[in-house]
Amino acid sequence: MMRIQFNEELGRLHHDILAMGSRVEEDLRKALLALKTGDVALANEVKASDEIVNALQLKIEDQAAMLIATQQPVARDLRELVTIFKITDSLERIGDHAVHLAKTAKRLSDDPYPRPLDRLERMATVDIAMVHDAVAAYLNQDEALARKAAAMDDEVDAEHKAFIQEVLAYLTENPGKAQQATKLIATSSFLERLGDHVTNLCEAVVFMVTGAHTELNE
């Protein structure tokens, strides 16, 4: 009877984690679209949605803590419940970076960057794919998918480095655009860190499945 109840509660946690991951993924998509189009209203939607992400984090962590306290899980079950705290923390931080991207979209709508933002867009697109695969890896207990998602961070890092060089070259030609250049570099850094948070999430999934602490993308 206890096992049936535990599995039911765990199923509810899976549902909520999927909801949180989907919400974060959608917020990133909206922020990216706002960046492409200068849609300020869409950027504002991302900021409002962040409160839902934060509420989901608290709900999930409260449920997980209750399961640990009342069900006394051991071994594999306990690893999963511990992993849930790492996953929600990573997703909440990723949601924060979606807000940062949305804020950049609003700022650039007032002071457009005269060059294509292809590299930022590619970084965000890869980050979104990483989030999707990382959450799927958790729900399906798929170590290989977690490793695959983490490996995509190399592309994000490469685009980040190239974009920094591009903006610095732009700043050399346009010294009066220091404030704009600083915002662009900060945005690229946020997207680069977002990939790191997904990698941390993937490492938590590998730990959950194997019991081994593994650093991915060293």
Q: Identify whether 216 is part of a domain.
A: no
Tokens 């798929």 sit on residue: 142
Q: What is the pLDDT of residues 125-184, one digit of tens each?
A: 999 999 999 999 999 999 999 999 999 999 999 999 999 999 999 999 988 888 888 889
The answer to whether position 109 is within a domain reads yes
More confident residue, 92 or 36: 92
HSE-CB at 28 with a 13 A cutoff on CA atoms is 30
Q: What's the domain range around 89?
A: 2-210
pLDDT digits (tens, 9 = 90+) for 176-217: 888 888 889 999 999 999 999 999 999 999 999 998 888 887
**The predicted structure's pLDDT at residue 113:** 81
CATH code for the domain of 104: 1.20.58.220
Alpha-carbon span 117 to 96, nearest angstrom: 21
20 is a domain residue: yes
User: How many separate domains does the chain show?
Assistant: 1
> What's the pLDDT at 2?
64
For the chain, percent of residues with pLDDT exceeding 70: 99
